[in-house]
Amino acid sequence: MRKLREFIIEKLVLLCGLASIFFVLLIFLFLLREGLAVFQTISPAAFLAGKSWYPISEPPALGILPLILGSLVVTVGATLISIPFGVGSAIYIAEVAPKRVKEILKAGIELLAAIPSVVLGFIGMVTLVPLVKNVFHLPTGLTALSGSIILAFMAMPTIVSIAEDALYSIPKTYKEAALAMGATHWQAIWRVMLRAASSGILAAIMLGIGRVIGETMAVMMITGNAAVIPHSFFAPVRTLTATIAAEMGEAVIGSEHYFALFAIGIVLFVISFAINVTADLFLHKRQ
Amino acid sequence: MNPYRTQRLAFSLLFLANALILVLVGFVVVVIVQKGLPGVTWQFVSDVPRQGMRAGGIFPAIVGTLYLVAGAIVFALPIGLLAAIYLSEYAKDNALTRLIKLAIVNLAGVPSVVYGLFGLALFVVFFKFGASILSGSLTLGIMILPLIITASREALESVPHSFREVSLSLGASKWQTIQNIVLPNAIPGILTGTILGIGRAAGETAPILFTVAAFYLPLLPGSIFDQVMALPYHLYIISTQVPNVDEKIRYGTAFVLLALVLFMNLVAIVIRYRFRMKKKW
């Protein structure tokens, strides 16, 4: 009896353990199921490289290049801002800050991670957007730049916490050896520790980028949502995620537009999968 | 340049980077509290929206969010906890375990709007649940699953090995050991993870956009197959889709949502802190 119970429980627990694999496959399967139908009317090349996105005109134009470039512009901007701030903060927290200051800083970063994206989008709309408009004398503040700034902010908790872990996990002896050779603390950080932690820091940056590409609400609220090929940081753009969020509500189930939005979902899923697997490899290389 | 001067300069810059983040976080919280708190009255949290959401309160949105979060936890906690038990107590160090861990990492990285698409395709269309509390809760539940698994696993793994050995040596079976020794000692960590999951589920908008959220529905739901309003979606609607909404209502809604999420995080922090004080090993 007891043996049987143990057996049943073991299988049940194994089943739940497998649930994550099951759900990842299920998500991919259902995205494919709904999204691949769009390729009956448009070739994958025309879908990915098509220059215009007019999904409800007759016939619909379903090229997502403007959306890919929109995501790219916003992501590049956010990455450029968040790398120095994020990695810098991680170094400060891991190496420089006194214990009490460290606790406060970590609590602040955790607080930032907890703020819902729609709240940050709202605050961005009422504070950052008018600021960008006035500073750069633009017709509208709803631009790629505003999106990049907010997204950089949202990527910060990911980058800081993973980069900080990476710095912590370097053997103490590396630092001690550098200090014993007469290096200053900063020289030890700059020339020894950052290099030793480089794969972990790279993983942190990649996961930060993953966060930025997948972010939806804030970006939809402050980038202006113009589905055209972006020519500068100071123009409105439309990202892949915002397109799905903004248009799925109106798309008729089973229409080409509906399938195309799912196909965008496939693109996003593949990008996030690639980023996570690569970052995971980097994280494990270290150990 | 003198290496010590370089060091001072570098450390100051690092400090500034950190200070800037902290100041901005503080700014966000202070602005919302300052402008939102005055609008949050009893009438605001207990009344339905009126005049095309330009007046009245946000009661249905609060209730909707509570239902969704409860549903998500009911679904995700049992599966997540058992998955964590598998990984910490049963799994061997083999390819399957590595695959599971990779799947968890990926599940955590899937963009929230893709969860929305998935929920739409599977629950709303394929299972024909329609846009409903059930569809929304299941979608949110799958989304917070990795968070609950990771937190619970850490909690279980931090219980010392000697505890298990003593129990096993006294003749307890593996499951008895887990049930009576490992789980009780891991409960604070599991609770922390669960509460953080609640906070996450309460604040997410994209996964509920097409699976449950109603634009305007001043009724309370009758069953799990009804649509509901939800706080984050309501904030999105009144700040972008409905013109001329009073600032007080927008900030008030943002305040209630932020307060709910931060309260959850605070509870989690308190539990973690008290547990660290009490910890016997």
* Confidence band of A1 (pLDDT split at 50, 70, 90): confident
pLDDT tens readout for residues B153-173: 999 999 999 999 999 999 999
Whether chain A has a CB inside 8 Å of the CB on B30: the answer is no
pLDDT tens readout for residues A14-46: 999 999 999 999 999 999 999 999 999 899 999
Q: Searching chain A, which residue's CA lies closest to the CA of residue B252?
A: A119
* Confidence band of B211 (pLDDT split at 50, 70, 90): very high
Beta pairing, strands A61-62 & A53-54: antiparallel
Residues A155 and A208: beta-carbon distance below 8 Å: yes
Beta pairing, strands B49-50 & B55-56: antiparallel
Tokens for B186?
């891991």
User: What pLDDT sits at residue B230?
Assistant: 94
Which amino acid, one-letter code, is at B275? Answer: F
User: What pLDDT sits at residue B215?
Assistant: 87
pLDDT tens readout for residues A91-125: 999 999 999 999 899 889 989 999 999 999 999 99
**CB count in 10 Å sphere of residue A79:** 21
pLDDT tens readout for residues B227-243: 999 999 999 999 998 88
User: What pLDDT sits at residue B144?
Assistant: 96
User: What pLDDT sits at residue A58?
Assistant: 80
Whether chain B has a CB inside 8 Å of the CB on A109: the answer is yes
Residues B202 and B260: beta-carbon distance below 8 Å: yes
Cα distances (angstroms) measured from residue B249 to each of A56, A120, A258, B214, B245? 34, 17, 34, 18, 7
| A-B Cβ pairs (cutoff 8 Å, strict) | 252
User: What pLDDT sits at residue B280?
Assistant: 64
The arithmetic mean of pLDDT across residues A208-234, rounded, is: 91
What are the phi and psi torsion angles at B49 (to 5°)?
Answer: -65, 140
User: What pLDDT sits at residue B54?
Assistant: 84
Residues B59 and B256: beta-carbon distance below 8 Å: no
- Closest to B39 measured CA to CA, from B260, B240, B256, B232: B256
**CB count in 10 Å sphere of residue B271:** 16
pLDDT at B275 over 90: no
Question: For the residues of chain B, what is the DSSP string, one character each?
Answer: --HHHHHHHHHHHHHHHHHHHHHHHHHHHHHHHHHHGGG--HHHHHS-EETTTTEE--HHHHHHHHHHHHHHHHHHHHHHHHHHHIIIII--SSHHHHHHHHHHHHHHHS-HHHHHHHHIIIIIIIS---SSHHHHHHHHHHHHHHHHHHHHHHHHHTS-HHHHHHHHHTT--HHHHIIIIIHHHHHHHHHHHHHHHHHHHHH--GGGTTTTB-SS--S--SSTTS-B--HHHHHHIIIIISTT--HHHHHHHHHHHHHHHHHHHHHHHHHHHHHHHH---
Residues B244 and B51: beta-carbon distance below 8 Å: no
pLDDT tens readout for residues B114-141: 999 999 999 999 999 999 999 999 999 9
The arithmetic mean of pLDDT across residues A187-196, rounded, is: 93
Residue A19 three-state SS: helix
The arithmetic mean of pLDDT across residues A128-142, rounded, is: 92
Which carries the bigger pLDDT value, residue A232 or residue A156? A156
Q: What rounded mean pLDDT belongs to chain A?
A: 92
- Show residues of chain B in contact with A272, CB under 8 Å: 106, 109-111, 114
| Cβ under 8 Å to A: B residues 81-120 | 82-83, 85-87, 89-91, 99-100, 102-118, 120
Residue whose tokens read 């305007």: B216
pLDDT at B206 over 90: yes
Inter-chain residue contact B22 with A33, CB threshold 8 Å: no
Inter-chain residue contact A96 with B14, CB threshold 8 Å: yes
Residue A237: strand pairing partners: A224
Q: What percent of chain A has pLDDT over 90?
A: 80
Q: What percent of chain B has pLDDT over 90?
A: 75
Cβ contacts of A154 within 8 Å, gap of 6 or more: A112, A117, A120, A211, A212, A215, A218
Whether chain B has a CB inside 8 Å of the CB on A27: the answer is yes
User: What pLDDT sits at residue B281?
Assistant: 63
